[in-house]
Amino acid sequence: MIAKNYNCCFLNCSFIDSSSPKLGVSSFNSFDCRLICSRGAARSGFLKPVKAMESSKTFHIEANKTHQDVSGGNLDKKFANGMAENVVWHKCSVQKIDRQELLQQKGCVIWITGLSGSGKSTLACALARGLHMRGKLTYILDGDNVRHGLNKDLTFKAEDRVENIRRIGEVAKLFADAGVISIASLISPYRKDRDACRALLQEGDFIEVFMDIPLQVCEARDPKGLYKLARAGKIKGFTGIDDPYEPPLKSEIVLQQMGEICPSPSDMADVVISYLERNGYLQA
């Protein structure tokens, strides 16, 4: 792994190159950039992440709880080790590699994390548009949107956020397996749960993008008026206000403001597209 810190006149971002032999790394010349040498070093003082809140000690579901199903049966018998019993994986001769060949791209997950208002959905759309224009197939899994359907049973309590992240991680993995460039944009405030989603994918195929935008900026934007409600105590457990956000420690891409100036969504999307290009994801 090589960490690169790209400082452009209008855009401050850093990212890690996956130098997996499978994908290879091509040379990079789209931006005037500065190379730095370690993954940890990708975060200079200037690049210091938002410390909205420190880690929560309460959000993970207790591992040893016995769960009851609606009929009163013990679900733990049916789901030993979190897996249904007596199920066997059914293989098919058409594999991910065949679908990738058809699509002329590599399936992967771009996981955009950050505070509410940091620009996750906007970046997701700009990225989808940019890739679509290059003839690449994408699909966006936006936290807000998925909560309208698949995840409409989930609240913002810690254990429901864990489940929200887990389900979106699993769906994103299926899209990647379909050969699609799957774009997940959700707050996903807990590091452990983002890392669990990363672990579902092959090395390199999970690309974490951290929207490292200060809380004050997100709060000033407040497009839905939710920060205002949270400050007034009308929404409890709002991320960054009275609920934790754990910034990534080693995301592949970090997007930040340059001083007071926020790069445009399409400039941010270009950084991600350039990463995909250099790491071989835009070809089969």
Ligand X SMILES: Nc1ncnc2c1ncn2[C@@H]1O[C@H](COP(=O)(O)OP(=O)(O)O)[C@@H](O)[C@H]1O
Ligand Y SMILES: Nc1ncnc2c1ncn2[C@@H]1O[C@H](COP(=O)(O)OS(=O)(=O)O)[C@@H](OP(=O)(O)O)[C@H]1O
Residues annotated as catalytic are 188
Instruction: Please identify, among the stretches 41-49, 92-100, 120-128, 167-175, the one whose residues bind ligand X according to the rule CB under 6 A.
Output: 120-128
Q: From the list ligand Y, ligand X, none, which binds 138 (C-beta under 5 to 8 Å, kind-based)?
A: none
- The one among 116, 151, 164, 188 contacting ligand X by CB under 6 A: 116
Which has the closest alpha carbon to 139: 167, 173, 187? Answer: 173
Residue 13 or 197 having the CB closest to ligand X: 13
- The one among 186, 255, 272, 276 contacting ligand Y by CB under 6 A: 186
Backbone angles phi, psi at 103, to 5 degrees: -90, -15
Min CB(244)–ligand Y separation in Å: 10
Instruction: Please identify, among the stretches 15-23, 132-140, 237-245, 262-270, the one whose residues bind ligand X according to the rule CB under 6 A.
Output: 262-270
Q: Is 221 in the site for ligand X (CB under 6 A)?
A: yes
Q: Is 265 in the site for ligand X (CB under 6 A)?
A: yes
* Residue of this chain nearest to ligand X (CB atom): 119
Query: On the CB side of 213, how many CA atoms lie within 13 Å of its CA?
Result: 27
Binding track over 24-63 against ligand Y, x by CB under 6 A: ----------------------------------------
Q: From the list ligand X, ligand Y, none, which binds 13 (C-beta under 5 to 8 Å, kind-based)?
A: none
Q: Is 122 in the site for ligand Y (CB under 6 A)?
A: no
Instruction: Note the residues at the interface with ligand Y (CB under 6 A).
Output: 116-117, 120-121, 143-144, 147, 156, 161, 164-165, 186-189, 224, 226, 235, 237-239, 243
